[in-house]
Structure 1
Amino acid sequence: MIKNLPIFKALEHDRWVRPFLRQYKKSLIVAIFLGIMTYVAGAGLMFTSGYLISKAATKPENILLIYVPIVLTRAFGIARPTFRYLERLVSHNWVLKMTSKLRKRLYDSLEQDAVFFNSKYQLGDILGLLSDDVSHIQNLYLRSIFPMLVSWGLYAIIVIGLGVISPLMGLWMLLVFGLIIFAIPIWSVLVNGARQVYRKQLQDELYVDLTDNVMGVSDWVLSGRGNEYLDLHVNNQEKLLKVHLKMAKFERLRDLCLQLLYLLGIISLIVWGAATFGGHPSAATNWIAAFVLAVFPVVDALAQLPGAAQETNVYQDSLVRLNNLPETKKSQSQKIELAAPYKLELDQVRYTYPGQSKEILQGISLEIDQGEKLAILGKSGSGKSTLASLLRGDRIPTAGSIKLNGISTSEFGDQMPDYIAVINQTPYLFNTTIANNLRLGNEEASDEQLWDALERVGLKQMIEKLPNKLETMVQEAGLRFSGGERHRLALARVLLKNSPIVLLDEPTVGLDPITEQAVINTIMGQLADKSLIWITHHLQGIDLMDRVIFLEDGELTMQGSPKELWDSQERFRQLKKADQGL
């Protein structure tokens, strides 16, 4: 029955969590042992305290009958918090080790597909993956698996301990506590677990809808459908409230059943104690008090099981989603060493996104020689960005090949920046110092090299005037600097990296014409000895390029030098005049 529960089915083929059970098996065993001993010490404390209190109320036959329980009470009183503290240290250390590696694995899995991740997942799904799933795995252990294993250990101790004294009482406790440990949690999973899954689905839908629709709220308003959106949101909230009320009603019924079972167990111990020790009224009182009080700490261990069990349905969703992520590719073990001249060759390159039928690139063949300045033009959706990702090796062509000096670009992995550097539309600067941002290009760069790179991009004088100079904080996303300054800092990073090929992916979008031309002049001047691949959708600075190609619907429709295209292609002349506002 237990193996048929959803969480166990999810764990059966799991490749994210189960490996850590084997890797940290010893720590897990120690944590479970310490957890059991915590409740054993608690039960021992209540047992000896109950015996001591009742025994002290009568005239003891021997002082040892009082002194020994006093010593045991102190010992158990010290042992309980000690075991508890050690259990928390071991279990949390175990879980934090596991989740830190899970987060790294999650990042590696997403990072290898980061360029096109947004095209495959909605924003709400991405946030859910990053913020919820690993935390759910952590809670699966701390709030479900650990308490479950500890309760099983206590169950065995209770049944065996009472069975040694009285086999019949041992069998009765086997039944009563079996209902508490197994039957009630399974009932919770089957009834309330399904409702909890439905509640989480509603919450996820609300989150995704809220994320997407708030970003597009202007579209709702402009289309006159604002009330429709509000009604949709209110209806989903009402569904969520109904599920919550049903769950609360069931939990009250379940807790009542638990309390009745606890009461049955306590009454059973009282009756059994009276029957077993009834021949000695004073002794009967002492032992009954001891056994009954010892049950209460055990109740604390078992009370959390039903709630923890029903939560496993939520954890199951996270397990399934994590296991559906792509396997992390093994990093390149052998370093690739290339020598100049560097030549990129595209041979009949075709590409179709996974799960789609439309071919984005259709048989592109191209050669880019050392030092050549190539512009790739085309409107949005023509395949420019896809081609850029293929050139960087982030994607593998559906057909054909892209090779740098005879080696497929997809084989370079983390070594690709050594040969192809990138300046994007919005260069990202981290919330750290200018020096740290620049050293992303070269970790070993000296301050003199940093100043030289800044001088080459025209930022040295401006940064020298700042109070902290190179130690000035950039602020998140580089908001301290203007768009043109951010592009120049990104160029300085590329200069420090000294890659032979530089890919410019719409590097001047969003800049005013004067700043744009200044950035273009700086880029062309400082990268004169590099191979340049400039992806753009307009023709500002196009005359500085050696060759221009046009992409349209994934095909090459025009190519040649700017002068050749001006002389032979009417369409090129019209586009250039339109771009210049003529």
Structure 2
Amino acid sequence: MKKDNFSWKTETWIKPYLLKYKWMFVLALFLGTLMFLCAGALMFYAGYTIDKAATHPANILMIYTSIVLLRATGIGRPLFRYLERLVSHNWVLRVTSDLRLRLYNIVEKNSSTVGGEYKTGTLLSLLTEDLGHLQNLYLRTIFPAILSYIVGFIAVCLLGWFSWPLAGIVAILLLFELLVVPLVSLLTQAGIRAKEKAEKSALYTEYTDQVLGAGDWQVSGRQQDFHNQSKVTLKSLVKHNKKSGEFDWARDFVLEVIFGLIAVALLFFTNKDLTYNQDAANYVGAVVLALFPLSDAFIPVAQGVEEWHTYSDSVKRLNNLKSEEDHLPTQEKLAPNAAKLLQLKHVSFTYPGEKEAIIKDFSLTLTKGQKAALIGPSGAGKSTILQLVLGDLKPDAGSIELNGINVRALQDERAQLYSVLNQEPFLFNTTIYENLQMANPKATTDEMMSVLDKVQLGDYIRSLPDGLNTAVQEAGARFSGGQKQRLALARVLLQDTPIVLLDEPTVGLDPLTEQKLLNLVFAVLKDKTVIWITHHLQGMKFIDQVLFFKDGVVEMEGNPHTLFKENKQFHQLYLMDQGLL
């Protein structure tokens, strides 16, 4: 991945989403502010009510107003707390959803590029870790910090209405509480966290090497060295963890002391200015008590800012992540029923970073309803052909056309022209009905049952208590391998595209189930154009053309029936594949 320098001017993974959902963010801040104001007011009215009641008022009506306000703020605090959490989490989940969609689109565009800039491990790390860090950045750093500044500003203004000297002192103390201490914490912990990260990485490497080489350690008689190798790194890591924990304790202590000084300042000024009569004195305890709930707004800021070290690498990686430019030609229209001729003419393709082409001068012509099988070892380029046909990849030489139109100019029509049946079809953790509806949102229940009958699942689905509303479970766990492929085939039939790509759909099935599934697949797809990737010759009776790949080159091709009669090599391969030799 590129090591571009991070800049807030070019930042694209935080600011745009703050702006997109700004009003929801503002609402969350407003509710959070109301929650802290209610918390402070609750303590204020509680202190005032207690003090007022202790002076033996003439009757209950003298403190009735404060009792009503006490109840109101007591109800308001948890209510606004709940609403703030509801809105802020809804906001961050919307942001995260957009982030995941954006990242998925980048991953999807880069996943087909084996020699591309981003490795699979990097992309998985981005998906699983970095977005989680970004979500925490919003919830634990950005949101609490802004909320604390708003609450602090309001508190200083309210105190200014009472006493500007007091407001000035509190403002200075809050400046240390909310800016100086968090900044010192951020800078101090930077070095410690960097060392912890390096030591954890070194420890992981050492443990991996030890486990993989355990046999060598034992054979060489160096068992003690095996136990001692990581002790130094582990000891250093423990030392830095302890140092980090001690700093956090000291920082939190300082924050509590500063907060205590704010309380002392309040107590001093209220005793100085509010003791001229009994009624005014009732406000002394109330004002000081109103301060304490605000610690929940002020204290966590330093911890949240300190965690920027955890999030910063994720933010940098995400901002350096760029999607591959499609550079698609002008899109054209092609009706599915008009797609009658698929042609690959002298196609060659080399993955970025590779010296040798994986596909070399490949040609294939299929008219409507014809079927071709691509056979060869792993890495021969069979799946690359499917990606080229779909338009995911652009050939270095040659052309791929459907009815004379470049397939990359038909990407807007892709879902209506192509359907794919993979080795392991993904079934979503929802009902059978909804899994089928994904292929054709307009499909009726009768149409779904019709295609299920065609793939020989209709009777089984009807026998289930909930029928089409039966839960498929995660990754289709409810069904066997053959049943999952039949359900995926039903989706293909509902999609009703003129071209179907089969990427080894029978892998992992026993021979009997495999043959039954192949018979079914080619029976229901008899009118479709099919390109089938397979690793052996079972099912060749359904094929019009078979092409054998090796090192990106077609070594043998032709009609399987003709090859069986006229080509000795194919004849022997077929007999061996069927277990007849």
TM-score (norm 1): 0.80
* Structure 1 CA distance for aligned equivalents of residues 285 and 418 of structure 2: 78
Moved more, 564-573 or 335-344: 564-573
With 127-136 and 117-126 compared, the bigger mean Cα shift is at: 117-126
> 2:137, 2:433 → 1: CA distance?
43
Whether 1:310 and 2:306 are equivalent positions in the alignment is: yes
Aligned amino acid, residue 147 of structure 1: P
CA distance in 1: counterparts of 2:265 and 2:84, whole angstroms = 32
Distance in 1 of aligned mates of 2:69 and 2:238: 51
1:267 to 264, 267, 275: 264
Shift in Å, 1:173: 2.5
* Structure 2 partner of 1:541: 539
Quick one: which amino acid aligns to residue 297 of structure 1?
Answer: P
1:99 equivalent among 92, 96, 99? 96
Cα distance in 2 for partners of 1:430, 1:294 equals 52
User: Structure 2, unaligned stretches of length 5 or more?
Assistant: none
Q: What is the match of residue 188 of structure 2?
A: 191
Give distance in 2, aligned partners of 1:237 and 1:523. Answer: 58
| TM-fit CA distance, 1:16 | 3.1
SS in structure 1 opposite 2:307?
Answer: helix
Corresponding residue for residue 340 of structure 1: 338
Q: Aligned match of 2:389 in 388, 391, 397?
A: 391
- Cα separation, 2, equivalents of 1:390 and 1:42: 63
Query: 1:435, CA displacement in angstroms?
Result: 5.2
State yes or no: 1:33 paired with 2:30. Answer: yes
Q: Which amino acid is the alignment partner of residue 258 of structure 1?
A: L
Q: Give the Å deviation of 1:407.
A: 2.9
How far apart are residue 524 of structure 1 and its match?
3.3
Q: Measure, in 1, the Cα distance between the counterparts of 2:428 and 2:63.
A: 69
Superposition CA RMSD, Å: 4.5
| Alpha-carbon spacing, 1:238–1:345, altered in 2? closer, same or farther (3 Å) | farther
- Within 5 Å, give how 1:315-464 maps onto structure 2: 315-327=311-323, 336-340=334-338, 342-413=340-411, 415-432=413-430, 434=432, 436-446=434-444, 449-459=447-457
Between the aligned partners of 1:77 and 1:465, the Cα distance in structure 2 is: 56
- Counterpart residue type for residue 358 of structure 2: I
In structure 2, relative to structure 1, the CA distance for the partners of 1:543 and 1:82 (3 Å cut) is closer
- What secondary structure sits across from 1:362 in the alignment? strand
Matched, 1:16 2:36: no
Q: Shift in Å at residue 341 of structure 1?
A: 5.1
Q: What residue in structure 1 maps to residue 285 of structure 2?
A: 289
* Counterpart amino acid of residue 553 in structure 2: E
CA distance, structure 1, for counterparts of residue 115 and residue 202 of structure 2 = 18
User: Deviation digits for residues 386-422 of structure 1, max 9, x if unmatched?
Assistant: 1112212233334443222233323444642422222
User: What secondary structure, in the 3-state scheme, does the structure 2 residue paired with 1:359 have?
Assistant: coil
Pairing of 1:460-499 with structure 2 (within 5 A): 474-499=472-497
Q: Which letter does structure 2 place at the counterpart of 1:381? A: G
- Specify every segment of 5 or more residues in structure 1 that has no aligned partner in the other structure, as ranges: 1-7
> 1 CA distance for matches of 2:183 and 2:83?
30
Moved more, 102-111 or 498-507: 102-111
Matched residue, 2:81 = 84
Q: Distance in 2 between matches of 1:562 and 1:121?
A: 40
CA 1:208–1:120: 2 relative to 1, 3 Å = farther
| Equivalent position of 2:241 in the other structure | 244
Q: CA deviation at 1:251?
A: 0.7
State the distance in 2 between where 1:350 and 1:388 align: 13
Shift of 1:384: 0.8
* Residue-pair matches, total: 569
Aligned equivalents of 2:260 and 2:449: distance in 1? Answer: 78
Q: Distance in 2 between matches of 1:71 and 1:513?
A: 79
User: Which of 499, 508, 511 is the aligned partner of 1:510?
Assistant: 508
Q: Is the 8 A contact 1:124 1:208 kept in 2?
A: no
Whichever residue aligns with residue 309 of structure 1, its letter is: V
Distance 1:34 1:524, change over 3 A: closer
Q: Decide whether aligned partners of structure 1 residues 240 and 371 sit closer, same or farther in structure 2, where only a CA change above 3 A counts.
A: farther
1:577 Cα offset (Å): 4.5
Shift of 1:505: 1.6
1: distance between equivalents of 2:560 and 2:188?
71
* Equivalent residue number for residue 137 of structure 1: 134
Residue 159 of structure 1: how far off its partner (Å): 3.5
2-structure distance, mates of 1:518, 1:325? 46
How is 1:48-63 mapped onto 2 (pairs within 5 angstroms)? 48-51=45-48, 53-54=50-51
Conservation of the 8 A alpha-carbon contact between 1:501 and 1:530 = yes
- Comparing 355-364 with 197-206, greater Cα deviation is found at 197-206
Structure 2 CA distance for aligned equivalents of residues 254 and 402 of structure 1: 65
Quote how far apart the aligned CAs of 1:333 are: 8.9
Q: In structure 1, how many angstroms separate the alpha carbons of the residues matched to 2:413 and 2:490? A: 20
Q: 2:556 aligns with which of 548, 555, 558?
A: 558
Aligned partners of 1:546 and 1:562 also within 8 Å? yes
Query: How much identity, in percent, do the aligned residues show?
Result: 41
User: Deviation at 1:260?
Assistant: 2.1
Q: Distance in 1 between matches of 2:460 and 2:110?
A: 38
* C-alpha contact 2:433 2:468 (8 A) present in aligned 1: yes
Contact 1:377 1:384 in 2 (8 A): yes
Whole-angstrom distance in 2 between the partners of 1:93 and 1:371: 50
